[in-house]
Amino acid sequence: MATQAATGLPQSIEETMALLEAHDYLAGTALATVLFLALRMKRPLFLEGEAGVGKTEIAKVLAKALDRPLIRLQCYEGLDVASAVYEWNYPAQMLEIRLSEASGKVDRKRVESDIFSERFLIRRPVLQAISSNSGRAPIFLIDELDRTDEAFEAFLLEVLSDFQVTIPELGTIRADEPPVVIITTNRTREIHDALKRRCLYHWVDYPKAAQELEIIRRKVPGCNATLSREVIAYVQRLRTIDLFKNPGVAETIDWATALTELDRLALDPETIADTLGTLLKYQDDIARIEGAEGRKLLSEVKAELLAAS
């Protein structure tokens, strides 16, 4: 227990929630519990959810709150060991061989161990995360894992269960203290069960109205109370209809910021039509909401707010 207090990890679910809130991230009980457990059980946290619900943000906030370095691995199709784990500095190696030739001493063993030494090793995110020697384990964010392919997923299995990486020329590198791993996916592809089994799973959902209102209050300070209430009610209503892509929290923040910048005090059909691009990202959806359906939605929202006040 004493060591945990020293590393600054939260000691309870409430503390976890307070810690995140202090850095302007509002987490529900479920998320706080999972996060607390991931930290205590030293297991990777697997976050799945629609785009723009704040999955990546959790890792960033956690790094800030725990005052630890954040190492981010952005996944993409065809991500390979050379760009994810390590690479040798080939020009420098060539130069080294040339130099040893010029100085006349050619000892095969010596040259080999010189060439493949840590000096010439370029550390990519995975290696950085497990060989960090700053004394505190970093937050290791593996972002959008679904964008890469199964081969890389299989490689991650070793990293995530033993926190070690094997470099043929150098040997096995093991983490002194395992990093806090956070994996996010948008579900554009199913991740294999074997990987998920090693993690704690959490589905990040859209926030409830009250929570989203609080998020806007914190993230867009200039947004007045009436406008933000209308914005939230409108967005929440928008999520209930059958759109191709529902707006996430990030879009809500963008929209509120845009409206604030335009000095609007309340929503009206023209303003919505002008700024809809910040909220909806597909032409089909925009065309639908710009028309009669959007007007109906707005009048419903206004009536609802009037009834509530």
What is the DSSP code string of 40-99?
A: HHT--EEEEESTTSSHHHHHHHHHHHTT--EEEEE--TT--HHHHTEEE-HHHHHHHHHH
Shortest reach from residue 43's CB to another protein, in Å: 8
Q: Residue 35: which residues within 8 A CB-CB, separation 6 or more? A: 16, 20, 27, 45, 58, 62
Q: Does 186 bind another protein (CB under 8 A)?
A: yes
Which one, of 137, 162, 128, lies nearest residue 9 by Cα? 137
CB nearer another protein, residue 29 or residue 226: 29
Q: Does 77 bind another protein (CB under 8 A)?
A: yes
Q: 3-state DSSP call for residue 174?
A: strand
Determine contact, residues 142/75, Cβ cutoff 8 Å. yes
Q: Does 201 bind another protein (CB under 8 A)?
A: yes
Q: Does 74 bind another protein (CB under 8 A)?
A: no
Determine contact, residues 200/46, Cβ cutoff 8 Å. yes
Chain positions 42 to 61 lying near another protein, rule: CB under 8 A, are: 43, 46, 48
Q: Hey, what are 251's tokens?
A: 């879009």
Query: Residue count at the site for another protein (CB under 8 A)?
Result: 56
Q: Distance between CA atoms of 131 and 118, rounded to whole angstroms?
A: 12
Q: Does 37 bind another protein (CB under 8 A)?
A: yes
Determine contact, residues 163/175, Cβ cutoff 8 Å. yes
- One of 34, 220, 253, 298 touching another protein (CB under 8 A): 34
CB nearer another protein, residue 244 or residue 268: 244
Shortest reach from residue 288's CB to another protein, in Å: 10
User: Which residues are near another protein by CB under 8 A?
Assistant: 12-13, 29-31, 33-34, 36-37, 40-41, 43, 46, 48, 76-80, 82, 87-88, 90, 93-94, 97, 100-101, 106-108, 111-112, 115-116, 146-147, 149-151, 169, 186-190, 193, 196-197, 200-203, 242, 244, 284
